[in-house]
Amino acid sequence: ELKVEQNPLFLSMQEGKNYTIYCNYSTTSDRLYWYRQDPGKSLESLFVLLSNGAVKQEGRLMASLDTKARLSTLHITAAVHDLSATYFCAAGTYKYIFGTGTRLKVLA
Partner 1 sequence: DAGVIQSPRHEVTEMGQEVTLRCKPISGHDYLFWYRQTMMRGLELLIYFNNNVPIDDSGMPEDRFSAKMPNASFSTLKIQPSEPRDSAVYFCASVAWGEAFFGQGTRLTVV
Interface residues with partner 1 (CB under 8 A) are: 31, 33, 35, 41-45, 48, 50, 88, 90, 94-101
Q: Which is nearer to partner 1, 80 or 97 (CB)?
A: 97
Question: In angstroms, what is the minimal distance from the CB of 43 to partner 1?
Answer: 4
Q: Which is nearer to partner 1, 3 or 81 (CB)?
A: 3
Burial (CB count <10 Å: 0-12, 13-18, 19+), residue 82: exposed
Backbone angles phi, psi at 2, to 5 degrees: -70, 130
Question: In angstroms, what is the minimal distance from the CB of 87 to partner 1?
Answer: 12
Question: In angstroms, what is the minimal distance from the CB of 86 to partner 1?
Answer: 10
Q: Which is nearer to partner 1, 55 or 78 (CB)?
A: 55
